[in-house]
Amino acid sequence: MKTFDIQKIRADFPILKREVNNKPLVYLDNGATTQKPKAVIDAIVDYYTAMNSNVHRGVHYLSQISTDAFEVARRKVQGFINAEHEHEVIVTKGTTESINIVASCYGRAFIGEGDEIIISAMEHHSNIVPWQMLCDEKGCKLRVIPMNDAGELDIEAYKALFSERTKLVSFTYVSNALGTINPVREMIAIAHEHQVPVLIDGAQAVQHIAVDVQELDVDFFVFSGHKMYGPTGVGILYGKESLLNAMPPYQGGGDMIKEVTFEKTTYNELPFKFEAGTPNIEAGICLTAAIDYIEEIGLDAIKAYEDELLAYATDELAKVEGVRFIGTASHKSSVISFIVDGIHPYDIGVILDKLGIAVRTGHHCAQPVMDRFGIPGTVRASLAMYNTTEDIDNLVQGLKRAVQMLK
Ligand SMILES: *Cc1c(COP(=O)(O)O)cnc(C)c1O
């Protein structure tokens, strides 16, 4: 394993030097979005300084170098998740759009009235609502894998949900609200025993855990650039070639066509069939810098460091009176959701903010998870590779102050 130099890593993220409310920033909202290293910021500036031009269109020099850089990023993503083919990597706006593409296109072609889609009780709204919209349109049904009080999915109940009518399974690798790491390999294998394809929401996974889509044998895998130290406005839909080829296109427009007449249009090949219109070029290109950054440090080293930090944070927060953790799975990623007896999470968030500490409060786009635990929301500290034990100490001190003030 490579050495993990936390001071050097922190120095790579310019925003970590700033103050908020006259206090040094303590950024613990990485589940919502991560900060960007200088390498990514520089790549964005370089793009506009030296390269800006539309992709897949021009014969001229700038268009060719920006197209090349965009396609380099696609191959970078291919390597990052070990996809078999680069054309299985579709560039989207983000996780939300990637899931909507599958719901819309796979759903339109292969899911009909009376069919069933399995999701889990811990999904982000973006992995619930697109399926509900499809169900409204097609008359299909959602089946939901339940979870226990620790926030772990009930695998026996999952097995029992399959029927002749099951057409797709879609669930998250890591819960953004609870931190649970689901047994994806086992769950994919179970679906495949029933010949049902699986979509994995990797939005909270790829920045913490090395993912190999071929080894997982996953059918669709989606994630966002902005949660893995990359730019906003870009995400990935990985799909197996055979499935993507069988699906109708998503939006109609430029780039996704081969030939257009008023009588008939023929569609472009993968990946362009699903990439209508001008993409977020600079964000797509700058994914390369984000992945290079992660790979240079190494996901094994990042995971080991974050696991230590998670253990420390859990121990320290447990010492604060009245703290109750929501999400105590035995396999957890660096997300700590908690409530404090008798105090609204929002009020804690406001006081922490006054102290320069950024956490998220509320339902974290996972309202059914909050309903499952019978609470309106939680305070969530979500850790990234640049956080430190000092950040945790600041959080704990701030929380103690908040509790004192609000009790
Ligand atoms: C953030 C998140 C999403 C949605 O990602 P966007 O980048 O907002 O499209 C989906 N699922 C999970 C688990 C997330 O954390």
Q: What is the mean pLDDT of residues 80-87?
A: 98
pLDDT of 355 over the 90 cut: yes
Query: In this structure, are residues 151 and 327 in contact, taking their beta carbons and an 8 Å threshold?
Result: yes
- CA quadruple 215, 221, 227, 230: dihedral positive or negative? positive
Query: Which residue in 226, 196, 239 sits closest to 95, CA to CA?
Result: 226
In the residue annotation, 365 being an active-site residue is answered as yes
Contact residues of ligand 1, CB 6 A cut-off: 94-96, 124, 126-127, 172, 176, 201, 203-204, 224
Query: Which residue in 126, 179, 155, 144 sits closest to 326, CA to CA?
Result: 179
Residue 58, pLDDT score: 79
Q: Given the structure tokens 């993968």, which residue do they identify? A: 270
Tens of pLDDT, residue by residue over 167-177, are 999 999 999 99
- Residue of 207, 224, 226, 380 to test ligand 1 pocket, by largest number of atoms within 8 Å of CB: 224
Query: Which residue in 61, 33, 25, 120 sits closest to 398, CA to CA?
Result: 25
Checking DSSP bridges between strand 198-201 and strand 220-224, what pairing results, if any? parallel
Helix (H, G, I), strand (E, B) or coil at 237: strand
- Cα–ligand 1 centroid distance for 96 (angstroms): 6
Query: Which residue in 191, 172, 188 sits closest to 125, CA to CA?
Result: 172
Tens of pLDDT, residue by residue over 324-344, are 999 999 999 999 999 999 999
- Atom index in ligand 1 nearest the CA of residue 98 equals 9
In angstroms, rounded to a whole number, what is the distance separating the alpha carbons of residues 201 and 89? 15
Q: Which two tokens stand for residue 161?
A: 């949900």
- Cα–ligand 1 centroid distance for 26 (angstroms): 22
In angstroms, rounded to a whole number, what is the distance separating the alpha carbons of residues 120 and 172? 8
Residue 3, pLDDT score: 75
Residue 266, pLDDT score: 92
> What percent of the chain is modeled with pLDDT above 90?
97
Residue 72, pLDDT score: 98
Q: Measuring from atom 8 of ligand 1, which residue has the nearest CA?
A: 96
Residue 2, pLDDT score: 62
Between vectors from CA 50 to CA 49 and to CA 51, what angle results, nearest 5°?
115
- Cα–ligand 1 centroid distance for 348 (angstroms): 24
Helix (H, G, I), strand (E, B) or coil at 343: strand
Q: What is the mean pLDDT of the chain?
A: 97
- Cα–ligand 1 centroid distance for 156 (angstroms): 27
Counting DSSP H helices and E strands in the chain, the numbers are: 15, 17
The backbone torsions φ and ψ at residue 117, rounded to the nearest 5 degrees and listed phi first, read -120, 130
Containing H/E element for 101?
helix 95-101
- Cα–ligand 1 centroid distance for 164 (angstroms): 30
- Atom index in ligand 1 nearest the CA of residue 93 equals 9
Q: Please confirm whether the linkage preceding 271 is cis (ω < 30° from 0).
A: yes
Q: Measuring from atom 2 of ligand 1, which residue has the nearest CA?
A: 203
- Atom index in ligand 1 nearest the CA of residue 95 equals 9
The backbone torsions φ and ψ at residue 278, rounded to the nearest 5 degrees and listed phi first, read -70, 125
- Cα–ligand 1 centroid distance for 224 (angstroms): 7
- Atom index in ligand 1 nearest the CA of residue 31 equals 15
pLDDT band at 5 (very low <50, low <70, confident <90, very high): very high
pLDDT of 262 over the 70 cut: yes
Q: Which two tokens stand for residue 140?
A: 């299909």
Query: In this structure, are residues 334 and 383 in contact, taking their beta carbons and an 8 Å threshold?
Result: yes
Helix (H, G, I), strand (E, B) or coil at 325: strand
- The C-alpha torsion from 380 through 342 and 355 to 383, rounded to 10°, is -20
143: β partners: 118
In angstroms, rounded to a whole number, what is the distance separating the alpha carbons of residues 94 and 26? 26
Burial of 39 (0-12, 13-18, 19+ CB in 10 A): middle
Query: In this structure, are residues 393 and 55 in contact, taking their beta carbons and an 8 Å threshold?
Result: no
pTM above 0.85, yes or no: yes
Residue 1, pLDDT score: 52
DSSP letter for each residue of 179-220: -BBP-HHHHHHHHHHTT--EEEE-TTTTTTS---HHHHT-SE
Q: What is the mean pLDDT of residues 71-96?
A: 98
Q: Which two tokens stand for residue 248?
A: 């109708």
Between vectors from CA 179 to CA 174 and to CA 184, what angle results, nearest 5°?
30
Query: In this structure, are residues 235 and 98 in contact, taking their beta carbons and an 8 Å threshold?
Result: yes
In angstroms, rounded to a whole number, what is the distance separating the alpha carbons of residues 231 and 286? 7
Domains of the chain (ranges plus CATH)?
Answer: 6-30+298-406 (3.90.1150.10), 42-295 (3.40.640.10)
pLDDT band at 407 (very low <50, low <70, confident <90, very high): confident
- The catalytically annotated residue of 105, 140, 286, 365 is 365
Burial of 342 (0-12, 13-18, 19+ CB in 10 A): exposed
Tens of pLDDT, residue by residue over 356-389, are 999 999 999 999 999 999 999 999 999 999 999 9
